[in-house]
Structure 1
Amino acid sequence: MATQTTQLRIVSGNGIVTRDVLNTPLRDAEPSELPIIDVSGIFSATQADRQAVADQIRAAATSTGFFYIANHGIRAPVTDAACSASLDFFRQPAELKERANTRHSRANQFKVGWKPPQSQHINPFESVDRRESFSWVYHAAHDPSVGMDSVADIPPKVAAFLHADADGFPWTAAPPQLGAALIPCWQAVLGLGRALVRSMALALDLDEHAFDAKFTHPDAAMAVNYYRPLQPPTAEDVPDVSIGSHTDFQLFTILWQDAAGGLQVLSREGQWLRAAPVPGTFVVNFGDYMQRITNDRFLSTVHRVQNRSGRERLSMAFFFGFNLDESCAVLDTCVAPGEEKRYDEVGCYEWMQRRLRAMQVDLGAGKVAAA
């Protein structure tokens, strides 16, 4: 007898997308489904070492679009300090966190700062997200490759898309110890992200520096998510989600997660898989823009979070994309002989706005609302 499926709906930059999901129990991912890749070779002076990592990334990118990275060069004290400071922040009374409540960043209209519990709804076809978060976007003054002294020299076409609120929000509205721990963590992951982009260029049969000019001032946002445990659903309830089913927006995401677990990945076969925490690793997954410019070679995979651990959970998600003033068409190396490019070229800023607008869905009409 054939295994039955249910239909999952998510929003995307191309409208509402459906996925068939197997009605089989959630299970742990096999190592072949979510591999652990030793990425120490991306820092090697030897081309063969760097190519070996790229080959493993290509294999993961074209199978599930998710993988773990080990030996990534970010020391545990950096992430431990960021985790500890974040927990201190989230455990405060709401009236203290309210000082850092969200506002739109001036440059790209992405909401930064503290988002209260149940104020986010990433998938309008599922429950509201049972989380709170603290987020921010790229600021050149915090980028070690730019530095405060060089901010004034940023080309105007790039600077027009950079976050530069005069009052330094959200850091000036949050406890000083939060920024003191989170900004160094962001800086460390930013450096790792730049190294991974070069490895991904090799994985796409390009020169490893092919994208360098496109991420001088990247769309490098970070969100710290805090989850209280979900309550067991009753038979009448729509099951709660900590974060609803979705795909990410830009090139890729680097995720640190604590030991509580809860991240779930939808396989190509429609099976929900647990992406269990692996000490000392980050999880990497590709976003919609990467899938688009690779002509669907690199997969942007649906995922969600359900914190049923019975305790609080913390994750730190780093979202990496090209400069917002940049644009990228489907790469020629991703188009086989006789194959057509499936997507038109679209600017990074335009794509981000399209994705943000797509989350505004008219549920009655079942369409993405114009905004």
Structure 2
Amino acid sequence: MTARAADRSLLIRDFRGGGCFHPPRNRSISAAMTDIAEMTSVPSVSLATSHSDPDGFAQAIGRSFERFGFAVVADHGIPAELIARAEATARAFFALPEAVKRAYCVEGGAGQRGYTPFRVETAKDATEADLKEFWHVGRELPAGHRFAGEMPANIWPAEVEDFRQVTLELFDAFEATGRRILSAIARYLGLAPDVFDDAIEDGNSILRLLHYPPIGPDAPGIRAGAHEDINAITLLLGAEEGGLQLLDRDGRWLAVGIAPGELVVNIGDMLQRLTNRKLPSTSHRVMNPPPERRGFARYSMPFFLHFRPDYLIETLPQTIDAAHPNQFPEPITANDYLLQRLREIKLI
């Protein structure tokens, strides 16, 4: 394979269903694995059809998840004006002086609330920290709530007007959309559509406002190193700028291309574990931009939908058979699993 071919990745354009991807774990992933081949694609599915044809929508999005670990969702129901307000809010915060932003770092908080500075979060097994900074918003809990010990209180930057109102509104909108997608996943697995409702009630979900600053030609590392997400599912707004890639089953990196306003959704490790890898948590990364885009920042807003802290992640019996023995025989609570993974990425 030539060096030129190694620097390119596939643009995903056309999907043909089937198959179950068991993603590579704990292995080095390099540009040398990139190759050029037939153009294929993660399909775009319309969430609006989940009302008129819930089974059809469940099959469409479920096949995409089973094949790629990813799906692209149109008509997701999150208002465009809310997205615009949230992006403006994020831009306003990240434009603040470094000293002001760092005042909102929560010491000993594992990055779960407030500000995490540039080049702190590190992908598992990576040698370079990610070229990004971010802010985390969690669930608002009443005083004395039973999960107050596992879910710290939010903090809010006084310098950005309406920050709290806008981000909590977006948090609620993301959660409502995520609930509908989990319902479709349940249908795809042959379960009751509401089977995950209790699991995510008071879940430890997190909204991340994410900023990848402009970078120079000799920047160390990449914007986000290859990793899998910890949570149940991730919903991502703002991927139109480009750079997001997923690792396909044959070791090729595929560029995730979406239309304006579409949502990228991927399976996280918790749901992969629950489904015995039937729905894979796929390695993905955010590459540095080409030279002509290095002077531009990239903003995105992922929502990490989590189970409630005491939810027991135990392999679903429907996903176990002679051909697919239980790969995760030891159950673990969502909170214990979260802490385990946060240690791996050096946040605690």
Q: What range is the shorter-chain TM-score in?
A: 0.7 to 0.9
- Measured at CA, do residues 104 and 184 of structure 1 come closer, stay the same or move farther in structure 2, by a change above 3 Å? farther
Does the 8 Å CA contact 1:28/1:273 hold for their aligned counterparts?
no
Per-residue Cα deviation, 1:95-143 (whole angstroms, up to 9, x for no partner): 22233223455xxx55311112122222442422111111122223xxx
Q: 1:94 maps to which residue? A: 98
1:273 aligns with 2:254: yes
Q: How far apart, CA to CA, are the structure 2 residues paired with 1:29 and 1:104?
A: 47
Correspondent of 1:171 among 156, 170, 175: 156
Q: How far apart, CA to CA, are the structure 1 residues paired with 2:284 and 2:33?
A: 16
Q: 2:27 maps to which residue? A: 18
Does the 8 Å CA contact 1:69/1:283 hold for their aligned counterparts?
yes
Q: 1:321 maps to which residue? A: 306
1:196 aligns with 2:181: yes
1:304 aligns with 2:285: yes
Q: 1:69 maps to which residue? A: 73
- Measured at CA, do residues 360 and 91 of structure 1 come closer, stay the same or move farther in structure 2, by a change above 3 Å? closer
Correspondent of 1:39 among 39, 47, 51: 47
Does the 8 Å CA contact 1:260/1:277 hold for their aligned counterparts?
no
1:80 aligns with 2:84: yes
**SS at 1:268 equivalent:** coil
Does the 8 Å CA contact 1:122/1:246 hold for their aligned counterparts?
yes
Aligned-residue offset at 1:332 = 1.1
Q: How far apart, CA to CA, are the structure 1 residues paired with 2:205 and 2:93?
A: 22
Aligned-residue offset at 1:325 = 1.2
Q: How far apart, CA to CA, are the structure 2 residues paired with 1:273 and 1:230?
A: 23
Q: How far apart, CA to CA, are the structure 1 residues paired with 2:149 and 2:115?
A: 24
Per-residue Cα deviation, 1:181-222 (whole angstroms, up to 9, x for no partner): 222111111111111111111111101111222111112111
Runs of 4+ in structure 1 deviating by more than 6 angstroms, as ranges, are 1-5, 26-29
Q: 1:10 maps to which residue? A: none
Does the 8 Å CA contact 2:71/2:266 hold for their aligned counterparts?
yes
Which residue identity lines up with residue 43 of structure 2 in the other structure? Answer: P
Q: How far apart, CA to CA, are the structure 1 residues paired with 2:215 and 2:90?
A: 20
- Measured at CA, do residues 52 and 104 of structure 1 come closer, stay the same or move farther in structure 2, by a change above 3 Å? farther
Q: 2:117 maps to which residue? A: 116
| TM-score, L = length of structure 2 | 0.84
Which residue identity lines up with residue 283 of structure 2 in the other structure? Answer: V
Q: How far apart, CA to CA, are the structure 1 residues paired with 2:169 and 2:345?
A: 31
1:206 aligns with 2:215: no
Does the 8 Å CA contact 1:122/1:245 hold for their aligned counterparts?
yes
Aligned-residue offset at 1:323 = 0.6
Q: How far apart, CA to CA, are the structure 1 residues paired with 2:95 and 2:212?
A: 11
Higher share in strand: 1
Of 336-345 and 73-82, deviating more is: 336-345
Aligned-residue offset at 1:153 = 8.9
Q: How far apart, CA to CA, are the structure 1 residues paired with 2:251 and 2:267?
A: 18
| Matched length | 326
Q: Structure 1: any 5+ residue segments left out of the alignment?
A: 6-15, 141-150, 362-370
| TM-score, L = length of structure 1 | 0.79
